[in-house]
Structure 1
Amino acid sequence: MTAVKNVIKDNYNMMLLKDYLREAIKEAGFSHVEISKTPTGTRVVLHVTRPGIVIGRKGSGIRDLTEKLEKDFGLKSPQIAVNEISQPELTSSVMCNRVASLIQRGTAFRRATMWTLQQIMNAGAMGVQITLSGKLRGDRSSFEKHSAGILPRAGHQAQIIVDEDITHIPTAMGYIGVRIRIAKKDRFIPEFELKGVKDEKTLAQRQKEEADAAALLLAKTESEAVKIIAEKIENLDLMEDVEEKLK
């Protein structure tokens, strides 16, 4: 029973650590953390979109975070390494956090969802599925599911290809749950064969995507990136907007 209790305790501490890091280094675009024990201590690898924010000026951020992990979470001699995420749009946890930030800023949930769906597919994903559930429009709970491309739903292939994450957003009406599943082409299994998938983007579309990506790269923090995205989303035409104009 002691071994079982130790496993439960370790998993609980890991959950608390992930929750803390998700909030503490939110501006750095935190994705996930990898922890492994070594003969000299504990190796902690942080995967973020903006490593400079975590490191801090002259390494001050790393030192403060090391003290926090050792004192509050009981990690012995933590050795922190920071790994930069090259394509944030293909990382489900980063995109979940961005959707949460957009909705908390007051962006309509459907606009935030459709923009995120478009950005993930433009980044080269094989497929994506975004599910929102909770009190989206009123007192009664509901859910919406939006998908694009090819996304394995079950089986061993889905476990390898699909990257999935879930986040919960506190709102005035209650919590909204967001689940994003992204199928990545770089994890493509030989047993699969993609047919009929063509890249028919126009030059204007490509230029717009490159301009959007460049604007996000100039953002120093995730809050600035979300602000840029929120401004662009306002110009996004949804089907319900088109239908309203035709009435």
Structure 2
Amino acid sequence: MGQKVNPISFRLQTSKNWNSRWFASKKDFAVWLAEDGKIRDLIEKRFASRPTIANVEIERSANLVTVTIHTAKAGVVIGRGGAGINELKKVIEKVVSLPVRINVEEVRRPELNAKLVAENIAHQLERRANFRRAVKMAIQGSRNAGAKGIRVEVAGRLNGAEMSRREKFIEGSVPLHTLRADVDFYAARALGPNGTGIIGIKVWIYKGERSTK
């Protein structure tokens, strides 16, 4: 049996951190966890038309919920004159029980973010692009941006084939067992055209080594 471990949870407290950072009592834990899920779903659905959201971090204090949105296109999230961020804040405040503050941070190199790369490939596959071309373009973009290595797996009825299969593409080094290795990972889904089912896309990006001290 293969022991599959998410590369991000494997590195928690060494080179990665939790996306939700708070401490709750037993009675509040389930409520706050559900609220975090609703916040992420709201943000993802709001900008679902194109892959722009790289990560959403949530921090809670006694009287405030701070939501930090990491995005490749800050202008799209903020909106003209901050209108977009104010509207998003009102929507989120209907879900949570505390006042909300939203921070927007721009991702300088989206080609090095596994979520953005995976969703970009998924977006192309839904528009009937050839999966090999979409993956190879994504790999080349990440390598040009400075990735030490990248691994991509796609599985499903690729290019509308009758039988599903799995294809792997690896370029460079991706040391999954090295704790100090900065490896970003994300698994995305694409809806195949003409009812051909779901195509899964997994992306690992190795950016180099971090000090674990």
Relative to its length, the structure with more helix (as a share) is 1
- 1:76 alignment partner in structure 2: 98
Aligned equivalent of 2:190, options 152, 156, 169: 169
Q: For residues 116 and 155 of structure 1, what CA distance do their matches in structure 2 show?
A: 24
* CA spacing shift, 1:146–1:12, aligned 2, 3 Å: farther
151, 157, 161: which is aligned to 2:174? 151
1:37 corresponds to which of 60, 69, 89: 60
Pair 1:157–1:103, CA change in 2 (3 A):
same
2:129 paired residue number: 107
Contact 1:28-1:51 at 8 Å conserved across structures: no
Q: Could you tell me which amino acid in structure 2 is paired with residue 162 of structure 1?
A: V
3-state SS of paired residue (1:53): helix
Residue 206 of structure 2: aligned partner? 183
Q: Give the aligned partner of residue 39 of structure 2.
A: 17
Q: What is the RMSD computed on CA atoms of the aligned residues?
A: 2.4
RCO higher in structure (CA 8 A, sep ≥6) = 2
- Unaligned runs of 5+ residues in structure 1 are 192-247
SS at match of 1:167: strand
State the 4+ residue runs in structure 1 displaced beyond 6 angstroms: none
CA contact (8 A) 1:93 1:164 kept: yes
**1:128 aligned residue:** 150
Q: Percent identity?
A: 28
Q: Note if contact 1:42-1:75 (Cα within 8 Å) is conserved in structure 2.
A: no
Q: How does 1:42-61 map to 2 (within 5 A)?
A: 42-61=65-84
Deviation at 1:155, TM superposition (A): 4.3
1:140 aligns to what SS in structure 2? coil
Show structure 2 runs of 5+ residues with no match. 1-24
Greater gyration radius = 1
SS of the residue corresponding to residue 66 of structure 2 reads strand
Q: Is the 8 A contact 2:70 2:105 kept in 1?
A: yes
Aligned partner of 1:138 among 143, 161, 164: 161
How many residues are paired up? 185
Which one has the bigger strand percentage? Answer: 2
